[in-house]
A and B are shown apart, each in its own frame.
Chain A
Amino acid sequence: MNEMTSFDVEKIRRDFPIFNETVHGKRLTFLDSGASAQKPTVVLDAVRDAYSHTYANVHRGVHYLSQRSTELYEGARETIRAHMNAGSLDEIIFTKGTTEAINLVAQSFGQMEFQPGDEIILSYLEHHSNIVPWQLIAERTGAIVKAVPINQDGEFLLEEFSKMLTDKTKIVAVTHVSNAIGTVVPVKEIIDMAHAKGVRVLIDGSQAIPHMKVDVQALDADFYVFTGHKVFGPTGIGVLYAKNELLEKMPPYQGGGDMINRVTFEKTTFATGHSKFEAGTPPIVQAIGLGVAIDYVNSVGLDNIAVHEQSLLSYATEQISAINNVAIIGQAKHKAAIVSFTIDGIHPHDIGTIVDQAGVAVRVGHHCAQPLMDFYDVPSTVRASFAMYNNREDVDALVASINMVQEFFR
Chain B
Amino acid sequence: MLDDLKELYQEVILDHSKHPRNFGKITPCSHEGHGYNPLCGDTINVYLELDEKEHITDITFDGKGCAISTASASMMTDVIKGKSVSDANTLFEDFRSLATGEHENINAGEDTERLMILAGVKQFPMRVKCATLPWHAMHTALLGKTEISTE
Check B47 for interface membership: any CB of A closer than 8 A: no
Q: Is the CB of A353 within 8 A of B124?
A: yes
Q: Is the CB of B67 within 8 A of A350?
A: yes
Task: Give the distance in Å from the alpha carbon of A353 to the alpha carbon of B40 in the complex.
Answer: 13
Per-residue CB proximity of A370-385 to B under 8 Å, as 1/0?
1001000001100000
Q: Which of A26, A350, A366, A380 meets B1, CB within 8 Å? A: A26
Task: Give the distance in Å from the alpha carbon of A116 to the alpha carbon of B124 in the complex.
Answer: 49
Given contacts A350-B9, A409-B67, 11 further A-B contacts (CB under 8 A): A24-B4, A346-B67, A347-B67, A349-B40, A349-B42, A349-B66, A357-B1, A357-B4, A365-B39, A366-B41, A409-B14
Per-residue CB proximity of B1-29 to A under 8 Å, as 1/0?
11011001100001000000000000000
Q: Is the CB of A408 within 8 A of B39?
A: no
Task: Give the distance in Å from the alpha carbon of A243 to the alpha carbon of B107 in the complex.
Answer: 67
Q: Can you list 11 A-B contacts with CB-CB less than 8 angstroms, sorted by A residue number?
A: A347-B66, A349-B127, A353-B5, A357-B2, A357-B4, A357-B5, A365-B39, A366-B41, A380-B41, A408-B2, A409-B67
Q: Is the CB of A379 within 8 A of B41?
A: yes
Check A106 for interface membership: any CB of B closer than 8 A: no
Check A354 for interface membership: any CB of B closer than 8 A: yes
A373 contacts which chain B residues (CB < 8 A)?
Answer: 41
**On chain A, which size bracket covers the interface?**
20 to 34
Check B103 for interface membership: any CB of A closer than 8 A: no
Interface residues, chain B, CB within 8 Å of chain A?
1-2, 4-5, 8-9, 14, 39-42, 64-68, 124, 126-127, 130
Distance in Å from the Cβ of A329 to the closest Cβ of chain B? Answer: 14
Known contacts A353-B127, A366-B41: does B1 contact A379 (CB below 8 Å)? no
Known contacts A365-B39, A366-B40: does B1 contact A347 (CB below 8 Å)? no
Task: Give the distance in Å from the alpha carbon of A352 to the alpha carbon of B4 in the complex.
Answer: 14
A346 contacts which chain B residues (CB < 8 A)?
Answer: 67
Check A358 for interface membership: any CB of B closer than 8 A: yes
Check A238 for interface membership: any CB of B closer than 8 A: no
Task: Give the distance in Å from the alpha carbon of A347 to the alpha carbon of B17 in the complex.
Answer: 11
Known contacts A26-B1, A357-B5: does B40 contact A350 (CB below 8 Å)? no
Distance in Å from the Cβ of A95 to the closest Cβ of chain B? Answer: 25
Check A330 for interface membership: any CB of B closer than 8 A: no
A380 contacts which chain B residues (CB < 8 A)?
Answer: 40-42
Task: Give the distance in Å from the alpha carbon of A350 to the alpha carbon of B5 in the complex.
Answer: 10
Task: Give the distance in Å from the alpha carbon of A101 to the alpha carbon of B33 in the complex.
Answer: 38
Q: Is the CB of B66 within 8 A of A365?
A: no
Per-residue CB proximity of A333-372 to B under 8 Å, as 1/0?
0000000000000111110011001100000111000100
Q: Is the CB of B42 within 8 A of A379?
A: yes
Per-residue CB proximity of A117-132 to B under 8 Å, as 1/0?
0000000000000000
A379 contacts which chain B residues (CB < 8 A)?
Answer: 40-42, 64
Task: Give the distance in Å from the alpha carbon of A30 to the alpha carbon of B124 in the complex.
Answer: 19
Per-residue CB proximity of A64-107 to B under 8 Å, as 1/0?
00000000000000000000000000000000000000000000
Q: Which of B2, B41, B64, B126 meets A353, CB within 8 Å? A: B126
Task: Give the distance in Å from the alpha carbon of A24 to the alpha carbon of B127 in the complex.
Answer: 17
Q: Which of A347, A353, A354 meets B65, CB within 8 Å? A: A347
Distance in Å from the Cβ of A357 to the closest Cβ of chain B? Answer: 5
Task: Give the distance in Å from the alpha carbon of A152 to the alpha carbon of B17 in the complex.
Answer: 30
A25-54, CB < 8 A from B: 25-26
The list of the 4 closest CB pairs from A to B, nearest first, reads A347-B66, A349-B66, A379-B41, A366-B41
A358 contacts which chain B residues (CB < 8 A)?
Answer: 1
Task: Give the distance in Å from the alpha carbon of A373 to the alpha carbon of B127 in the complex.
Answer: 21
Q: What is the chain A residue whose CB lies nearest that of B66?
A: A347
Distance in Å from the Cβ of A341 to the closest Cβ of chain B? Answer: 16
B9 contacts which chain A residues (CB < 8 A)?
Answer: 350, 408
Task: Give the distance in Å from the alpha carbon of A24 to the alpha carbon of B123 in the complex.
Answer: 13
B5 contacts which chain A residues (CB < 8 A)?
Answer: 353-354, 357, 408
Task: Give the distance in Å from the alpha carbon of A215 to the alpha carbon of B5 in the complex.
Answer: 48
Task: Give the distance in Å from the alpha carbon of A26 to the alpha carbon of B2 in the complex.
Answer: 13
Distance in Å from the Cβ of A1 to the closest Cβ of chain B? Answer: 39
B2 contacts which chain A residues (CB < 8 A)?
Answer: 357, 408
Distance in Å from the Cβ of B74 to the closest Cβ of chain A? Answer: 14
Q: What is the chain A residue whose CB lies nearest that of B39?
A: A365
Distance in Å from the Cβ of A128 to the closest Cβ of chain B? Answer: 11
Q: Is the CB of B8 within 8 A of A364?
A: no
Q: Which of A24, A349, A357, A408 meets B130, CB within 8 Å? A: A349
Q: What is the chain B residue whose CB lies nearest that of A24?
A: B1
Q: What is the chain A residue whose CB lies nearest that of B64?
A: A379
Task: Give the distance in Å from the alpha carbon of A346 to the alpha carbon of B67 in the complex.
Answer: 8
Q: Is the CB of B40 within 8 A of A364?
A: yes
A347 contacts which chain B residues (CB < 8 A)?
Answer: 42, 65-67
Task: Give the distance in Å from the alpha carbon of A409 to the alpha carbon of B65 in the complex.
Answer: 15
Task: Give the distance in Å from the alpha carbon of A364 to the alpha carbon of B5 in the complex.
Answer: 18
